[in-house]
Structure 1
Amino acid sequence: MTEPTLAQQLGEFAEKAYADGVPDDVAVSVQQRVLDVLGLCVAAHRLPTSAAALGHVRDQGGHPQATAVGVRGRVTAAQAAFANGVLAHSLDYDDTHLPSVLHPSASVVPAALAAAEHAGASGAQTVRAIAVGLEVAVRLGMAGYDDDLGNSVFFEHGQHATSITGAMGSAVAASLLYGTDVVDALGLTASMASGVIEANRTGGTVKRLHCGLAAQAGVNAAQLVRRGFTGPPTVLEGRFGFFQAWLHGQFFPEAVSDGLGEEWSVPGIFFKPYPANHFTHTTVDAGRAFRERGIAPDQVASVVIGVAGSTVRTIGEPIEVKRAPETGYQAQFSGPYAFAAGLLGGGGLGTGLDDYSDALAQDPQRRALMAKVDVVADDECNAIYPFQFPAVVTLTTTSGETLVEKVLTNRGGPARPLSDDELATKFRDNVAGRLDAGAADAVRRAALDLRHADGVTDLLSPLAVPKETHA
C-alpha cells in the first residue's frame, strides 16, 4: 500500500480530531486564545491601518455571512476573516509558538470564527477546528525549524512563517467547518500562502496585513474546494511543493508526522504579556526588575542588553533607529525602548498598549535612557534561543556599580504561565473604552465556555460595533 503523503496524514488527523474531540487541556487553551484574539481585535481599532483595512472590507460588499469586529452588519466570511486577522496581529500582542517563532492564533482563530458563523457550526466544532488548525500551523512551522542552525529556515530566508503556515492552518480549520476535503484545501492554499518580513527591519505597516491575508486565504480555499477545485496530495513534500518553494527542500518531515494526534503543541503556545515584539519581552522584565530594586532613571549610566544573536537584527539594528523610534510601532521592535518601558513602569501586566504611543516613543526622558543602551549578542542567550527569548541585561550606575538581571524564560509560556486572572486583565485592558462592561463580560464568558455553546453568535454579536467605531 502506498504511504500516505504528509497532507493526507494531516487530513486524517484533522478529521479524526474534529469527529472525536480534542484533549481537555487543548480545548481550554483554545478558548483562552479565542478570548485573547477578540480582545486584540477590539484594541486594534486605535490604529489608522485598522480603519483602512475595515474601510477596504466595507467597500467589497457581498453577502452578509460573518462578523468583522467593529463593522456594523455582516460581511462575507472571507472578508470577516481578513478583517479580524489584520486586527488580531496589528498590535504585535498575539501569541507565539517557540521555537518555530510563529504567531498562529491571529490567522487560525479569525478564519475559524468566520467559517463557523457562516456554516452555523457549534461551539464544540469551532473549538475542535481551531485546535486542529493551530496544530497544523505549528507543525508546518516546525518542519522548517533547523535544530543545527538554531533558527527557522523560513526566517533565515526573510519569510514570515506566521502568515505562510498560518494560511495552511486556517485552511484546515475552515475546511473542517465547511465539511470540505482538508487535503484539497491544503493543496489550494499553498498557492496563496505568503509573507515577507523586511518591514521588521526598515519600516512599513505591511506586516499588519499578513494574518488577515492568511485567514482570508484559508477561508477562500475551503469555499473553492466546496465548489469543486482540487489540489495535489503531494502539495507539501512534492518536487514542486510547499517545502521546495519556501524552504528550497530544506525541511524536516518528522516534525509534521511524529506524534500527530497524540502530542499537542497548542497548550504550549506562549501568550504575550506585553504588546511588543516577543524578542523584547525579557528586556521589559529586566527593566521592571531593576525598577523593583530601586534603580531610578537618573542613576543609569549605561546599559548592555545581551540577547540571542539572531534577534539583534530585529531589536538592535540599526542601533541609531532603535534608540530613537519615531512611532509607537517602531518602539515595539526596539530593545532600548523595551528597557526604558520596563524601568519606568506601565499599565496592563507591566507594560500595556498605552505605553507604546508615538508620544512616548519621542518622550525626552525615554530618549535619554535609550541613548545609553546597547544591544549585543550573548553566548548564554544563544544557547537557549529559540526555545525562549532570553535577555541578560547589565546596568552600570552613575556611581560605578554594575548590576545584572538575567531573564532566561518568557513570561506567558509554560515555564511562567499567565493565570486566568492575568489573561482577564489583559482582555479588560484591551477592550477598555471600546466595549462597555456588560458586552466585555458577555464576550469573556462566551469565549471561555465556547465548547458548550450552540454556536458563535453570542460570542461575536457584542463585537459588531465597538464604541469608537460608531458612525
Structure 2
Amino acid sequence: MRTHVQELARFAVACRDEPLPGEVTADVVHRVLDVLGNCLAGRAESEGAAAPDAAVLRLVDGWAGVREATAVGSGVRLPAPNAALANGTFAHLLDFDDTHLPSVLHPSANVVPAALAAAEAADAPTAVLLAAVAAGIEVANRLGMASYSAELGNSVFFDKGLHATSICGALGAATAAGLAYGLDAEALASAVGIAASMGAGLLEANRTGGTVKRVHCGWAAHGGVVAAALAREGVTGPPTVLEGRFGFFNAYLDGKYDAAALTGDLGTRWELLRTFYKPYPSNHFTHPGIDCALALRARGLSADEVQHAELGVAEPVLRTIAEPRALKIRPTTGYHAKFSGPYTVARALLGGGGLGLHLDDFSEDALADPRLPDLAQRVTMVADESATARFPDSFAAVLRVTTCAGRVLEHRVDCSRGGPEHPLSRTELLAKFRLNAVRALPPNRTERLLAAVVAMAEGNVDYRHVLDLTMPAD
C-alpha cells in the first residue's frame, strides 16, 4: 500500500507524463499570468531599500552561484533557489495572489516561482513547466484541505497561528521543482519529504505588523527548489513524512487531518480550478466586505451619508481584520491597511480603482486622506452567523448601513468575487494583469507579454521568451 506522499508523487508524475485536461492547462496559464503581473507590480511598488523585495533581491544578488534563472522584472539572473526566493517574495508582496478555499492558502505564489526557476535551470520544455505548476498547486491545495477541521470550523494551521500558505506551499513548490528537474515518482516523494522540513511561517505579522510575512512565499519556493535539488542528488525523505508518528500532520495538526480530502479523486477532481483569483490587492478576508460596500455604492449610497456601518463576517476572521481595533481604524502603512476590515470598507465606499480597489487605494496618499479614518471609525465589525457557517468554504459578509437620514441599507454576499460561484471573467483577469504590469513595463511591452503568456497554452511560445519580456525596457 502506498503512503500519502507516494500517492501524491505518483499523481504529479502522471501530470508531467500524460496530457493535462484542457481546462487545467488554460487555468495554469492564467495562474502564471497572474503571478507575473503581481511580481511586476510588486517590484514597481517597492517601498525603498528596507522593503522586503529590495532586501531579498539585494541579498540574493550578492550570493555566489550559477546565474541560471530569472528574477522577474529586475534584469538579474540568479541560482535557481535564489530566483525562487526573489520571485516568491515579489508574488506575495502586495497580497494580490490567489487563494484556495477551504484551505485558506495562496498556492501560486509559492509554486509558480519554484517551477519557473527549476525549469529554467533544467532547460525543461514549456509543457513540463505547465504540468509542474498544475501538480504543485494541486498538492499544496490538497495539503491545505486536509488541515480543515469541521469541529473548529477552521484550518488547524490558522487556529494555531501557523501560515498554511508557506508550510503547505513548500511541499507544492518541491513537487513542481522536482517535476521540472525530471525526478521519477520515488525521487519526487523524497523531494516532498525533504521539503516538509523546510516549510515555515507564523501569522503574528498580520495582527501587529512586520514585513516578514511578505517573504513567506519566497522562502517556501526557495525551500521547494532546494529540496528537489537535494533529492536529485540522492538525499531521501521518509516515506511516511505526512502521516508518520513524527510526520507533517502529527507535528503541525496534532494528527487531525482529512485523508480523503488529501488524496480522494486525484487527477479527476481538480482543486486547482477552485482557487480564487483576487480582484482586490488585500487580505482575502476583507473581500466580501469590499464586495458589499461596492454594491451599496453602486446602489447610490454616498460615503457622506453614512452615520454607522456594521460589517458582519465569519467569526474566525475577526482576529485578522478587526483586531486590534485602533490599528485597523488607523493603519500605520498601506500594507497593514490591506488587513483592515474598517479601512477597506471605508475605501470602497469612497470609491476605488481597478476592479473595485487597486494598489493606489493602499498608497501613502490614500492613507493620508482625512475622510478615511473618520469613515473607518464608523464601521464596527461583528461575527455573522451565516458567514461563520459558510467559512472557510466561502468568504461571506453582510454590510448594514444606517444613514444620517435614518435609512437602513443592507447588502449580503455569500461568496466573494473571484471563485467558482462568482468568477472573474477572462476580460477582468486580463485587465488585472494589465493594471499590474504597466506599473513596471511600457504598455506595448505589457501587451507583448500578455500575448506571449496566453500563447503558452497552445505550445506556441516558450516560457523563457516570456521571462525575457518581463525584464526592464532598455
TM-score (norm: length of structure 2): 0.96
Shift, 1:72, TM fit: 2.1
Residue type matched to 1:327 in 2?
T
Superposed, which structure 2 residues align to 1:43-82 within 5 Å? Answer: 43-45=41-43, 46-47=45-46, 48-82=51-85
Confirm whether residue 344 of structure 1 aligns to residue 350 of structure 2: yes
Corresponding residue number in structure 2 for 1:8: 6
3-state SS, counterpart of residue 353 of structure 2? coil
Superposed, which structure 2 residues align to 1:339-378 within 5 Å? Answer: 339-378=345-384
1:245 to 237, 244, 251: 251
Superposed, which structure 2 residues align to 1:63-212 within 5 Å? Answer: 63-180=66-183, 181-212=187-218
Confirm whether residue 458 of structure 1 aligns to residue 465 of structure 2: yes
Per-residue CA deviations over 1:179-202 (Å, capped at 9, x if unaligned) read 122111011111111111111111
8 Å contact from structure 2 (residues 40, 439) kept in 1:
no
Shift, 1:389, TM fit: 1.0
d(CA) in 1 for partners of 2:345, 2:421: 22
d(CA) in 2 for partners of 1:190, 1:436: 41
Corresponding residue number in structure 2 for 1:436: 442
1:23 to 8, 21, 24: 21
3-state SS, counterpart of residue 99 of structure 2? coil
Per-residue CA deviations over 1:233-259 (Å, capped at 9, x if unaligned) read 111101111111111211122211111
Corresponding residue number in structure 2 for 1:335: 341
8 Å contact from structure 1 (residues 116, 456) kept in 2:
no
Per-residue CA deviations over 1:245-297 (Å, capped at 9, x if unaligned) read 11121112221111112111111100000000001111111111221222222
Corresponding residue number in structure 2 for 1:412: 418
Superposed, which structure 2 residues align to 1:300-315 within 5 Å? Answer: 300-315=306-321
TM-score (norm: length of structure 1): 0.97
Shift, 1:152, TM fit: 0.3
Shift, 1:73, TM fit: 3.7
Per-residue CA deviations over 1:116-139 (Å, capped at 9, x if unaligned) read 111111111111110000000011
Residue type matched to 1:326 in 2?
T
Which range moved further: 289-298 or 5-14? 289-298
d(CA) in 2 for partners of 1:442, 1:119: 25
Per-residue CA deviations over 1:355-384 (Å, capped at 9, x if unaligned) read 111232232101110011101101111111
Residue type matched to 1:8 in 2?
Q
Confirm whether residue 421 of structure 1 aligns to residue 424 of structure 2: no
Corresponding residue number in structure 1 for 2:284: 278
Residue type matched to 1:388 in 2?
S
3-state SS, counterpart of residue 413 of structure 1? coil
Corresponding residue number in structure 1 for 2:392: 386
Which range moved further: 26-35 or 448-457? 448-457
Alignment identity in percent? 49
Shift, 1:454, TM fit: 6.1
Residue type matched to 1:340 in 2?
A
3-state SS, counterpart of residue 306 of structure 1? strand
Superposed, which structure 2 residues align to 1:249-264 within 5 Å? Answer: 249-264=255-270
Residue type matched to 2:132 in 1?
A
Residue type matched to 1:462 in 2?
L
Shift, 1:33, TM fit: 0.6
8 Å contact from structure 1 (residues 70, 463) kept in 2:
yes
d(CA) in 2 for partners of 1:189, 1:116: 18
d(CA) in 2 for partners of 1:421, 1:79: 34
Shift, 1:453, TM fit: 4.3
d(CA) in 2 for partners of 1:287, 1:258: 38
Corresponding residue number in structure 1 for 2:30: 32
Per-residue CA deviations over 1:164-188 (Å, capped at 9, x if unaligned) read 0000000011001101221110111
2:240 to 234, 238, 244: 234
8 Å contact from structure 2 (residues 144, 164) kept in 1:
yes
Corresponding residue number in structure 1 for 2:222: 216
Residue type matched to 1:415 in 2?
E
d(CA) in 2 for partners of 1:111, 1:458: 17
8 Å contact from structure 2 (residues 452, 461) kept in 1:
no
Residue type matched to 1:111 in 2?
A
Per-residue CA deviations over 1:280-321 (Å, capped at 9, x if unaligned) read 111111111221222222211001100000011111111121
d(CA) in 2 for partners of 1:393, 1:110: 37
Residue type matched to 2:436 in 1?
N
3-state SS, counterpart of residue 176 of structure 1? helix
Per-residue CA deviations over 1:39-93 (Å, capped at 9, x if unaligned) read 0000001123221121112111311100001332411111111100000001000
Which range moved further: 392-401 or 64-73? 64-73
3-state SS, counterpart of residue 203 of structure 2? coil
Which range moved further: 34-43 or 447-456? 447-456
Which range moved further: 84-93 or 335-344? 335-344
Unpaired runs of 5+ residues, structure 2, are: none
d(CA) in 1 for partners of 2:86, 2:402: 46
Residue type matched to 1:34 in 2?
V
8 Å contact from structure 2 (residues 73, 440) kept in 1:
no
Distance 1:433 1:191, change over 3 A: closer
Distance 1:454 1:447, change over 3 A: closer
Residue type matched to 2:61 in 1?
R
Which range moved further: 429-438 or 104-113? 429-438
What is the count of residue pairs matched by the alignment?
465
3-state SS, counterpart of residue 287 of structure 1? helix
8 Å contact from structure 1 (residues 325, 362) kept in 2:
no
Which range moved further: 325-334 or 249-258? 249-258
Root-mean-square deviation over aligned CA pairs = 1.2
